[in-house]
Amino acid sequence: MAEVVIVPTPEDAATLVADAVIDLIRRKPRAVLGLATGSTPSPVYRAIAARINEVDASQVQGFALDEYAGLPASHPESYRAVITREVVEPMGLTPALVHVPRGDLAHLRTAGSDYEAQIHTAGGIDLQLLGIGGDGHIGFNEPGSSFASLTRVKTLTRQTREDNARFFSSIDEVPSHSVTQGLGTILRARHLVMLAFGAAKAPVVQAAIEGPLTASVPASVVQMHPHVTIVLDEAAASQLRNADYYRDAYANKPTWQGL
Ligand code: GLP
């Protein structure tokens, strides 16, 4: 089962995950990172950037989870722009090694298969960071997404567009479609690290970790992966039924195991 780590604050979570990422890059300078957007991973990116001088990150490769369709890459809220601003620049990564699915209309037809080929050529993703949407989506895999899905175009739900409207001046500006890694793509990554903070995420976190495996809660797919770490603050963990067990297991874990 997934390892569930409950920490007091998002900053504590960021420290823990940054340790794991820095350690991965030290062991494997050509490490392939799967990069999530949204507000949740921001403290993690800041914590990694603060320690990036401890390693040589010039060969690190990156793959974003998703991109809006039909939004120019130059738009400040395109995920290409967000990844450049929050990840590539602060961490000093080599821009040509950091990939984002192509969301421009001219490339939509082949954007998914091209992206899958790029991930394959890079040797697969070593560590995939994930947030979780209010409706249980990961990447932009909305409820009902196939567990076998690969990178493809997905229509966004009304709730996701409303949730993401805060990054735009109105909901009408939020694109209706995206190109997202599929749940099957995500399952191929070697280590999944899912993060969630705040009480608003508590019900969906509980459903994803302890509820039935169901495409209606796409994040429940993490139950099928052999190496998953879920890092939560107390508020996001507040509805878990087995929280005491997770705390015990983590407190008594041998340190050599790492995350
Ligand atoms: C977007 C992204 C997801 C992210 C989700 C949650 O829809 N495509 O990858 O997990 O938002 O965002 P936040 O972390 O801001 O709650």
Is the CB of 34 inside a 6 Å radius of any atom of ligand 1? Answer: no
- State the pLDDT at residue 122: 98
Is the CB of 39 inside a 6 Å radius of any atom of ligand 1? Answer: yes
- State the pLDDT at residue 147: 98
Residue 52, token pair as written in the block: 């990036």
Query: For residues 169 and 115, what is the distance between their CA atoms, to the nearest angstrom?
Result: 30
Is the CB of 133 inside a 6 Å radius of any atom of ligand 1? Answer: yes
State the helix-helix crossing angle for 10-27 and 42-51, rounded to 10 degrees: 50
Q: Which residues contact 229 (CB under 8 A, 6 or more apart)?
A: 2, 3, 5, 20, 191, 192, 193, 194, 259
Q: Which one of the listed residues 67, 86, 126, 142 is annotated catalytic? A: 142
- State the pLDDT at residue 6: 98
- State the pLDDT at residue 90: 97
Is the C-alpha dihedral spanning 199, 200, 205, 211 positive or negative?
positive
**Can you list the domains of the chain with their CATH numbers?**
3-254 (3.40.50.1360)
Q: Show the CA angle centred on residue 11, arms to residues 10 and 15, nearest 5°.
A: 115
The question of whether 66 is a catalytic residue gets the answer yes
Atom of ligand 1 nearest to the CA of 132: 10
- State the pLDDT at residue 1: 72
Q: Find the 20 Cα to ligand 1 centroid distance in Å.
A: 21
Q: Which one of the listed residues 3, 19, 135, 173 is annotated catalytic? A: 135
Q: Find the 115 Cα to ligand 1 centroid distance in Å.
A: 20
- State the pLDDT at residue 229: 98
Q: Which one of the listed residues 86, 137, 163, 191 is annotated catalytic? A: 137
The question of whether 126 is a catalytic residue gets the answer no
Query: For residues 224 and 241, what is the distance between their CA atoms, to the nearest angstrom?
Result: 20
Is the CB of 149 inside a 6 Å radius of any atom of ligand 1? Answer: no
Q: Do 31 and 255 meet the contact criterion of CB atoms below 8 Å apart?
A: no
Is the CB of 185 inside a 6 Å radius of any atom of ligand 1? Answer: no
- State the pLDDT at residue 256: 84
Residue 20, token pair as written in the block: 């794991």
Strand partners, 232: 6, 196
Residue nearest to atom 11 of ligand 1 (CA): 38
Q: Is the pTM of this model over 0.85?
A: yes
How do the pLDDT tens digits run along the chain, 259 residues long?
789 999 999 999 999 999 999 999 999 999 999 999 999 999 999 999 999 999 999 999 999 999 999 999 999 999 999 999 999 999 999 999 999 999 999 999 999 999 999 999 999 999 999 999 999 999 999 999 999 999 999 999 999 999 999 999 999 999 999 999 999 999 999 999 999 999 999 999 999 999 999 999 999 999 999 999 999 999 999 999 999 999 999 999 988 888 8
Burial class (CB in 10 A: 0-12, 13-18, 19+), 122: middle
Could you tell me which of 223, 48, 68, 190 has the C-alpha nearest to residue 119?
Answer: 190
- State the pLDDT at residue 255: 84
The question of whether 142 is a catalytic residue gets the answer yes
Is the CB of 48 inside a 6 Å radius of any atom of ligand 1? Answer: no
Is the CB of 40 inside a 6 Å radius of any atom of ligand 1? Answer: yes
